[in-house]
Amino acid sequence: MKEKLLNKKIIYIASVIVIILGIIVTCIWKTNVTLLDTNHTRIDIYIGKDHNKEEIEQIAKDTLGTKKIIFQEIETFNDSIAIHVKQANTEQIEALKSNIAQKYEIEDTENLIKITNIGNVRIRDMIEPYIVPIIIATIIISIYIGIRYFKLGIVKQVLILLLRLLVSEALLLSIIEITRIPVGTYTILLAILVYIVVIIFTIIGYENQLNIAKDKKKQK
């Protein structure tokens, strides 16, 4: 019993330390976001014929000279591709156009490339669509727990659930900040997954407590 309590204390202390470190890192450095969610240049290339994606990627890497490049197919007919790059000057873009035109024997290069400057996507804008649904889901689950586990203590069980959700999400975000993993759409999906896992884990624990309480009552 004492060993179990000690392990819990260690976990709690470690979690608090990680969260504090996460806050410090966030205050000192900006949150690292994915290329698609920060200021960058999108280069749409309309080849007008079948192409080899790997060849286009290699041409882009050689011409633009950067490792931060994301490629996307933008047409189902395999004739267009989008390149996302942190920045590209006029000379690099012209060289890219020339190299692709030469590779695929394209004479009309006027509409070969389209440049779009993409602005920052605020983290607040990423999470905003999920705030209300999560709040509603949490309220419904809290009511269910209050009714289902009434004998275990409504206030205590609901508070435990809310505290676990808060700490687990804070811990996840702190780890992401400390490790400087880029924040993007996947981060929200990961946070939702953690949310679901914590709720399932908590309910399983409550069920076990309820069964133990019922067994003790039968024994009496």
This model's pTM is above 0.75: no
Cα distance between residue 21 and residue 15, in whole Å: 10
Helix, strand or coil for residue 42? strand
The pLDDT, as a whole number, for residue 135 is 93
Cα distance between residue 154 and residue 178, in whole Å: 36
Cα distance between residue 85 and residue 60, in whole Å: 10
Greatest alpha-carbon span in the chain: 91
Per-residue pLDDT tens listing for the chain (220 residues): 556 666 778 888 888 899 899 889 888 888 888 877 788 888 888 877 667 777 778 888 888 876 678 887 776 556 778 888 888 888 888 888 888 888 877 777 777 888 888 877 777 878 888 899 999 999 999 998 888 888 877 888 889 899 999 999 999 999 999 988 888 878 888 999 999 999 999 999 888 888 877 777 666 6
Domains of the chain (ranges; CATH) run 2-33+122-219 (no CATH), 39-118 (3.30.460.30)
The pLDDT, as a whole number, for residue 199 is 94
Burial (0-12, 13-18, 19+ Cβ within 10 Å), 219: exposed
Phi, psi for residue 216 in degrees, rounded to 5: -65, -35
164: part of which helix (H) or strand (E)?
helix 154-179
Alpha-carbon distances, residue 44 vs 26, 29, 66, 95 (angstroms)? 34, 32, 17, 15
The pLDDT, as a whole number, for residue 170 is 93
If one counts every other C-beta atom within 10 angstroms of the C-beta of residue 87, the result is 12
Burial (0-12, 13-18, 19+ Cβ within 10 Å), 101: middle
